[in-house]
Each structure stands twice: as structure tokens, then as C-alpha cells.
Structure 1
Amino acid sequence: MAANEPAPFSTEWTSALIEHAQGVLIEARNAFITPEIGLQAVVIALAFGASWLLRAPVRTAFERAFGWQFMSRVNSTARDLVLSLILPVIAFLVLTLTRIGFDQAGLGSFAINLAASLTGAWVLIRILTAFIAEPFWSRTAATLIWFVAALNIVGLLGPLTGLLASVGFDVGESRISLLTVVRAAILLAVLYWVASRISKLLAARVEQVPTLTPSARLLITKSVQISLLVVVVAAALSIAGVDLSALAIFSGAVGLGIGFGLQKIFSNLISGLILLMDRSVKPGDVITLEETYGRVNALGMRFASVVTRDGLEHLIPNEEFITTKVINWSFSDEAVRIKKPVGVAYGTDVPHAMKVIVDAANSVERVLEKPETRCLLRGFGDNSIDLEVRFWIADPQQGVNNVSSDVLLAIWKAFEAEGIQFPFPQRDVHIDMREALRVRVENPD
């Protein structure tokens, strides 16, 4: 910016804006604060009061009508829409009849006509937005469209757009104004809703393809969502009149912000894509990550949902699956081997005890016959002969600790039946008898 050019938000610009707003207020006061407008305001209030009184009986009549046999085909959404529009429709009809009466009497009806137009616009917009299933988007769209329609009806849409267009700054050969920002935001919201509906429809179609694995389905769905999001943002900016090439000057700052402020977010996004492509972790797998053991319920672009045996749902960032050691109990084969130590007392018939342990483990329902259960002699401890039982299960998603408990309980019962003793800690105390043992008794009193 040259030194002789005024700043976009200078004092002169602010003073001009204030003077313009004051002029608009003076004109509005002179136009609306009159006895004729006051009379119409009272009539409008009475019309809405009468509509409120008529609302209850009309609603009751419609509810009874919906109970008739031939009206049973009407779904609940349409019924709720009709019942919610009873008050504004009655108000629109009453205001319209009132306006006709004022016109026939030769009285001014500007305010009444304005109120009727706004009420009718709200009814029409509410009907059109009823096709939007999401309540948030439906209410937002209805409010926004009605606001624009109201400005257009009262004749303020043109001045407001001109005012918004005058506030902005130049970027290269393009100009970014408040009007551009508002227009881009509205277009972005509309296109985002359309893209979300398209992505849901495509996701439903992809889920119906039997030849695709769950990871492939999720990868396709997420790729489509990201692609649609990029297209939506670019289309919204382009339709709003923003020259996309002019945004290149911000690429360095945006890249720096991504490198520092959004580093973790993009790291999780890239990690999520890697997990979907290499299928190292996929929905349905049973994994152990540090202290978390559970089943992968869903994979998102930022985190994975892991449900533990306690019913707790852990949302683990995707980056943890890339940088941390993960035990996937069902990566290539759902059959897993579990090892549990068992100690027996010295003097035990070890081969017999090993056979008892194997038979006891095989008596548990979830233990597989193939591969075979084995019992190994691992060493000679201070107080016990250390054995280890190794058995296989094919359903780790049903839990590992519970089947281990069942196996150890079966071994306990088998040892009791066979008279095999579990070891207990033993300590030998040696007293040096080369000197007399001195004993001292102290009286606590």
C-alpha cells in the first residue's frame, strides 16, 4: 500500500458509515412513526392475538383428521409440519383479509401488507426446508432464507449488500469484501450439506458391495468425503468471486500454521489413511495398546474407537497406532496362544503334574484341541518347581483374562483331586551357635 493511499478502515470511512446509518434511522423514523402506522401496528397485534386463540381448536380438528383411516398414510414428519404451521398460516390469512379490508376502506395498509408478506414468506420457506432431514440444517436454512427475504421485502437488501461490498481489501487483482465472505459462507454451508448427503448415499451403496472388505469400504468412504470437502471449499470460493490464484500469497503462512498449530491433526489424518491402506488395524480386530485391551469398533480420520470388555469406549488418536507397539490378536489369524505360569511344590511327581495340567486346561470349553495344549518345565525356583501351561483359543474378542481364569481354576480343582501341593514361601534361618545366645526381656511398665 502506498503512503498516500488511505487505510481501508480509516477515520474518514468510519465517519461516513456513521453518518449513513444516522440518515437511514432518521428516514425510518419519519416513515414509520406516524398515526397511520400506529393504527396498523395495533391491528397487526390484534390479528396475531386472534390467530393464537384460533390455533387450539384448529389444531384439535387437524389431529382428529389425522386419526381417520384414509389419513393413516401420512407420515409423522408431514403431520408435525402441518401442526407447526397452523399458527403462521392462520395469521397470514387473517392479515391478508385485514389488508383487503383496509384497501376497500381507502386506508393505508403498508405495515399490514409487510407483516402478511413476512408471515407468508416464513410459511413457504418452512415448507421448502422441511425436506431437510437434519433439524439443525433445517432451522438454519429457514432462518437465513427468511432473513434475506425479509430484507428484500422491506427494501433493505440492496443497501445492505452495497454496504457489505464497500468494506474489504484488495488481494492482487481481486477484492475480498464482507459481502464476499458472507456469500462464500452461505455457499459453503449449502454445498457442504449437499456433499454430506451425497457422501452418505455413496457410503450406503459401498456398504452393499459384498466383495469389499470393511477397511476398503471405509477407505473409499473417507476418500470420497475428503474429495467432496475439497471440491466444496474450492467451488464456494470460486462462485463467491474469490480468485483462487490470489490465495497463493497466503500459502506460506498457511503451511507454517499447519506445520506448527495443526501438526497433530494432520498427523492423525495421515495415520488414519495409512491404517486404512495397510489394514494393520481394522474394525473388528482385537488389539492391545499399552493398557487398553478391546475390540476396534470403528476407524475415523482422526481417531479409532476401541471398546473394552468393561464396555468403555476409548477414542485413541490414529498416530498412536503408528508410533506405538500394538498387539493385534486377530491380525492374520484369530487363533492365539496364551501362556500362564504354574508352580508345584518340591517333591511333586512333575511328569504327572504336567499331564494333570494339560488335561485340566483341555477341559475348558474355549480351549482348542488343535494346536495341542502343552506344559513346559521352565525352571527351579527358590520355593517351587516352575511350570508353564500354553493353550490356544480362537475367540480373543470374547476376552483373554476370563478364559485364563477358567483354566487356572480347572488346574486348582485337578490338583486338589490328585493331591498335588502348591508351593508356599519358605525361609531357612541359621543361628551362629559358636557364642552364647543372649536373651533380654524388657518390662513395658
Structure 2
Amino acid sequence: MTCNPKEKMMKICVLGGTGFIGSHIVSTLIAENHQVVIGCRDAERAKMIFPDAQCFKIIAGISSSQQFVEALQSCDAVINTIGVLGKPGTTLANDAHIQLIETLIAACKQTNINRIVHISALSLEENITSEYADTKLKGEQLLCQSNIESIILRASFVYSTGSYGGSSALRGLCAMPFAALLPNGGKQKFQPLWAFDLAKIALKACTSSLPAEQNFQTLSIAGPETLNFANILQKTRRWLGINPCKIISMPLIGAKIMGKIGDYFPLWGFSTAVVSQLNTDFIIPEEQKNSLGINMRSMDKVYQTHPSFVQDRWHSKLFLARPLLALFLALIWLGSAIAGFMTTPEHLRTILPQFIAASPFSLYLVYLFSIIDVYFAVKILLGKWSNKLWLSQLALVILYTVGLTVVSPALWFDLFGSLLKNIAVIGLIGIMLSIANDR
């Protein structure tokens, strides 16, 4: 991918530049020799991934327009890729889709940036009841009313040889051994769009002309073919080298129930917003498509020219294994807590030396550890995962193991493996520490 030497080299800011779509746009800009400024939550990590880019930290709902002003100096355009599905009871969607747009507009006016390219989604009007669609539409309206030249790219289902979010969930479904359970049997229609094609369109939109006497334009971007979700799943399985599977239809009511549960216990990747998206056909008539002259590639063409490797198959299987491992860990912590709360002084005397079991503080210490166990279980079930959480669990299991080894080494020879099982738990927590972070 080379740039025509007659084309102007630009300095472009990409908000969300380390995300799924954003990273494809950043790599495309760098390949075309443009200067890139990345705005994201972890600027240090962004700098490691894209050392040639300038990076700054932004947090939707917190970052000020002054932070944007400092970062946007001498930029020619801004491409905004930030989007979140949001969670009930939070302001995530409002912060990312409305407040951040307001901050961006204010900063662009101060720095005289006259072009914003905004990545949005198809079928927002059809999903107006979802918080995601509602806030996305309001963000678009702010751009249209801003008097800053804006091009809104409403994209269909975006996929790549890498994955994140919905495309990772697709990978997980591909690992199902014999059958895949899909809402409505996977009949929802999409026009899958390769991420690098979208990246090229976003770059083209930075300089394309707007309609006469308009300061904004909304373009519907979709791939060249219409496929239902079951077709996409089977094509992706073949790309991964996995045999096609039987499709089993999940009643929509079942998907909605899973979505409601997933809003509060997000172990499986389901949420109300995801179910709402899956219940909508993401297709547009051919005459309404506008790719700004960029040639779009079919899914078969992309997959045949970008082969999968063993790590792709690992990721597919680990996507399903990860929530199961987390659930097992949560059950272990809950079981440990229940056992602790049910412990009696008589039981303590059977496993601990007499002088320790006789102490009145021993039982209280057991109760304290049981409360900590409940805390860990709840954090896991709510999806509040962080390296700190897994390291804390690791430290506590090691503390349990060392402490009990010192006061009662005979537990290593217990018939039911009281301490031996901790070795497996330590390994399980170590695996979660390695794979829990999905960014």
C-alpha cells in the first residue's frame, strides 16, 4: 500500500487508535506515510505498538477540551472510532458518544481543524430503543450541527483476521465442536466489511468533497455481499480450518434473557445491546452504498489471501474457555467462603494444632478470609477483571498454602487433597492472569 507522491502528507488524529477499527486505521495511515496522533486510554501501550505515532491519553467523560487542544495542534483532520456498548446504570455510552463529541468539537474549533471523520454504525434508527443507538445518533447530530466539516461513516459488520468484541464472540462460536446455538438460527443479514477497506475509506474521507452547501455528509458503508450470520460463521470456521457445524436456533426470548443476565454478569459476552444488534439486519440497498471509490473485497477473497494460523485457533477456543475458567474460579471462592462460614471450633480442632484451634481469634480469622473469598467471587462474576484482582487471588492462595503448611503440614497428605488442590488453583489463576485482558 503506497501513497501517490502528489498527494499531500497529512497529520491525522485517530481517537480510539488502539481499538479494533482504530488500529487498522492507524496502520493504514502509517503505511501511507501520514503523521499520526493517537488518542486512547493507555498512551504508553499505544506508543509501544505504534512507536512512530504521537500518543496522548483520553478518558471519555473525564478528559478536558484543553487536553485535546494540546494534542490536536497542527492536525489536518480527526478520525473518531470510539464506541462502547455501555452497561446499565453507568454513563459509559453517554460519555463516549455525546460528551466526548462535545469536547472534540470545542477543541477542533480552537485549533481550526475543519474535518472530522466519525465512525458510526448502520441501522441506528431501527435500534433507537437501545442506549447504544440513542447516544450514537445524538453524537451524530452534534457533529451535523457543529459547522465543522464532518463525514459520518455508518459501517456494517466489520471483521478482520484479528478480532475484538463482536468478532471475538464470532471466533468463540467457531470453536463449538458440533453445533452452534444462534439467536433466530443465525438468519440475521449482514454485509461484512473488511476493516482495512473501512480504513481506506476513512482516509479518503479526510479529503473528499462534501455535497454543495453542506458541512456534513452521512455515508452508508457495507461490504460487496449479503450474508446471514450463519453463513459468516461457517466461512470463518473454514478459514480457521474447522469443519462446518450444525446450526441450532435459539428462541429470541432466550437470547433476550441471556442479554439481560449479561448486562450484570458479563462472563459470556452477551448483553442487551448485543442482542439488539443481532436482532437487526445490517444491510443497505446497492444504490445507497458509498465507498468513496474504494474497491471492497468479499469475505472469501479476504480469507483466502490472509490465512489463519495456530494462534487464531487458540484464540477461538480460549474465548469459550475463558468464561468457563472464570466461572469455575468464582465457584471455588464461593465454596471456600461457605465452608468457612460453616466452620465450628470443633472442626478447627481436627485440622489445626490444639494451641491454635483453641484461640478465640482463629474462628474470626476464618470468617475474615471467607468474606474476602466472597469479594473475589463477586468481582469475577461481575466481570470486574484486572491484573490486580488476579494477583490478589494468587497472593491469597499462596498465603493459605504456606500458612497451612507451617501450622498443619499433614494436610498435604489429606485423602481429599486439601492443599494439593491449591497447586491447580494457582495454575488456573495464572492462566486467567495471562488471558483475561481482552484489549
TM range (shorter): under 0.3
Higher-Rg member (1/2): 1
TM-score w.r.t. length of structure 1: 0.23
Instruction: Name whichever structure is richer in helix by fraction.
Output: 1
Higher relative contact order (CA 8 A, sep 6+): 2
